[in-house]
Every structure is written in structure tokens, then in C-alpha cells.
Amino acid sequence: MAYLKRAHDELFRRTPDEQFTSLQTLSSHCREVRDQSVDRWELPEALQPASTSDYLQLGINGDGEFQMNDWSFGQLCRLAKLPKQTVNRLSPNTAKRVFFETLPAGNKPLQLLLRERQVRSIHAASYTRLHNADVLDVVEEFASDFRPPQKAATGGTGLYCGEQDMFCFLIDPSGWAEIDGQAFAPGFFIWNSEVGRRAVGIETFWFQSVCANHIVWDAVETVEFTRKHTTNVHEALSEIRGIIAKLIAKRDERRDGFVKVIRKAMQERLGHDVDSATLALIKHGISASTAKKAMEIAREQGRFTIFAIVDALTRMAGVVQNAGDRIELDRQAGQLLALAA
């Protein structure tokens, strides 16, 4: 089993304004951004650096000046093959003159993403955009049972979107099922950038716990898929849809199987009386003293079903101080429950 740190890493790089409390509010934000954004194709010569006393701006084909954010400014620097850190130290007017000298010419158009009077990104023609809202539409349609985990110690929600990218951490809090005698629940990370900061991707998994720093512990059956923003990037939506569908199908299959085992365990008796049930516990490797105590708890319920005795062992494990003894009791309880499988 592994531990997964994607959500942990996102937690400590996100500012409060990038956090969202629910998938619905995040999706609504991303749809608003998508609907307000426009792609424009312009030749390099259409980009005209401009400046005020405080800011470097970008004129676009006679349509006035546009502001740039940190990401699009960095892309403009790469386009001009200038170190971003060096340009940041220049006055806006000096930076304007430097860009006039260094921005390339050519007949290959550039793809600009604009929102109101701001340039969100600048790309070559080979880049294909996939909007965050389109990715989240798939999540909302096929993973409606999934929710963000508990808030992290810092207040992080697991749902983030900033000017550069989007990231979601979702789990199914009612999807617990048994895998090899232990309880696991399904979850996944999904991410995208509609301005080119990162590829689109998803990682699904089954986990046992999530800590206050959003580290996923004891993860198994991890599946990861990523796709770069090239010509066929929209095919990633079908891949993501299929991966989520497989996770949900496995969840339903395991959960139904787990329910059947529990139902059978609640009906099947381990013995007809205290003595026979105690002997059965000892036969399965449980010490005589532990078996006696478990039978005392089970007797309070007036029955000696497998489930009643497993429940007794689980209660005993909950008050044991030594971690090794607690794990051993949980293991023994799991083995007994397997008798009903």
C-alpha cells in the first residue's frame, strides 16, 4: 500500500481565493470563466507592447491595450526569449522597448485567450485548449456521489482553481468496501489547466484514511491517466469518463458484496451456546481469555452470530492501548467475518 501526496502538495501552494467549498461552486466558477473567455488568433506582428507608468501592457491588432497576468507575462517572455526575472526588474517603459526589439515575427498565428481586458495565455498554434468546466461537467455527471474530504488543518478544501490551473480531490464517504479483509473507500484526484500550465489528468484509488494535511494513506489499486493539450486532447474526456465509470462499477460491486457478507454474518451462528462458540473462536486462533471476553460482550446481544462476535472483537480493539494488540484483534475479526463470505 502507498501514500499519495498530490492533494497535500496542492494544499500548501494554494491561496485562500483559490479554494472552493463544493464541487458545484467550483463548477459554476469555471463555467463563468469559460463563458467570459475568448480565443483570438493573431500574427506575432499584431502584438504591440505598451506601457503606463506602473504597468507593461499588450496592444492587440489595434484593439487597445490589455493587461497581462503573471502567467501570460511569463509566456510573452518565453516567446521573446527573455528571462522573466530580468524583465521584472525593468521599468514598464524600458520593458516595452526591449519587447519591441525581441518579439519574433512570422506568418504562424498565435492563440491568445482573453477575458475582458486581460490576456490569460499566449500559445503557438499547436496548443489545443480544454476548459476546466468541460472536465468538471464529466465529474458532475458521472461521480455525483463523490464529495471533497474533510477540511485540512489549514482550512484547505481539496477543491482549487486559480488563474493557472484547477485541481479536485474527491472521495465517496459512503463507498466503504472490503478488500483483502480491510475497509477501503474510493476516491480520485483530477486536474487540468486551460492556459497550458499542466496536462489534463486523473488518478483514481482506494484508500483507508486521509489525514489533516490531505495525505491519502494506505492507497491501493491506483490508476493514472494524463493527456497533453495537443490536437486530440478532447478525447481525454472520454477516457476520464471511462475511468470514473470503472471506479464506480467496482465500488458498487464491492459494496454489494460487502453488504451480502454482513447480512450473512448477522444470520449465521458460530455456535449454539457459549461453550461451542468459545471453542470455535479458539479453533480460529483466538486466545481463550480473548474468546471469553468476546463471548461476554456477544451474550449481551443475546446471540452468537458471526457478526455479533466480530462486533465484540472490534469493540475490544477500540479500547486496547497497545497498537500491535489492536491490529491483531482487528485482523482476527476480519478473519472471522471472512467465514461469511
Q: Cβ(171)–Cβ(186) under 8 Å?
A: yes
DSSP state of 202: E
CB-based contact 2:222 (threshold 8 Å): yes
Q: Are 288 and 205 members of one domain? A: no
For residues 170 and 227, state if they share a domain. Answer: yes
Q: Residue range 194-214: average pLDDT?
A: 95
Q: Do residues 212 and 152 touch, judged by C-beta distance below 8 A? A: yes
Whether residue 221 sits in one domain with residue 94: no
Beta strands 110-115 and 47-51, pairing class: unpaired
Looking at the 3D structure of the chain, how many domains does it have? 3
303 pLDDT above the threshold of 70: no
**How confident is the model over 8-35, as a mean pLDDT?**
97
Mean pLDDT across the chain: 89
62 has pLDDT over 90 = no
Residue 115 lies in a domain: no
C-beta of residue 170 within 8 angstroms of C-beta of residue 190:
yes
- Which range is least confidently modeled, 74-83, 200-209, 280-289, 304-313? 304-313
Residue 188 vs residue 274, higher pLDDT: 188
pLDDT band of 275, cuts 50, 70, 90: confident
The C-alpha angle with vertex 210 and arms to 140 and 26, in degrees rounded to 5, equals 30
pLDDT in tens, 93-147: 999 999 999 999 888 999 999 999 999 999 999 999 999 999 999 999 999 999 9
**300 or 248, which is more confident:** 248
Task: Let me know if residue 151 belongs to a domain.
Answer: yes
Kindly tell me if the per-residue pLDDT of 327 is higher than 70: no
Q: Is there a single domain that holds both residue 168 and residue 235? A: yes
Q: Residues 197, 248: one domain? A: yes
For residues 198 and 286, membership in a common domain is answered with no
| Sequential DSSP letters for 137-153 | HHHHHH-TT-B--SPPT
Residue 263 belongs to some domain of the structure: no
Domain interval for residue 142: 2-33+130-256
At residue 301 the predicted structure's pLDDT band, cuts being 50, 70 and 90, is low
Kindly report the CA angle at 138 between 9 and 237, in degrees rounded to 5?
85
DSSP 12-51: TT--GGGB-SSHHHHHHHHHHHHHHEEEEEE-GGGEEEEE
Binned at pLDDT 50, 70 and 90, residue 318 comes out as low
Residues 81 and 196 in one domain: no
Question: Which of 54-58, 179-183, 205-209 comes out lowest in average pLDDT?
Answer: 179-183
For residues 76 and 172, membership in a common domain is answered with: no
Band of residue 259 on the pLDDT scale cut at 50, 70, 90: low
CB-count exposure of residue 275 (10 Å: 0-12, 13-18, 19+): exposed
pTM over cut 0.85: no
Spatial separation of the C-alpha atoms in residues 26 and 32, rounded to whole Å:
10
Q: Does one domain contain both 182 and 282?
A: no
Residue 335's pLDDT band (boundaries 50, 70, 90)?
confident
Same domain, 158 and 208: yes
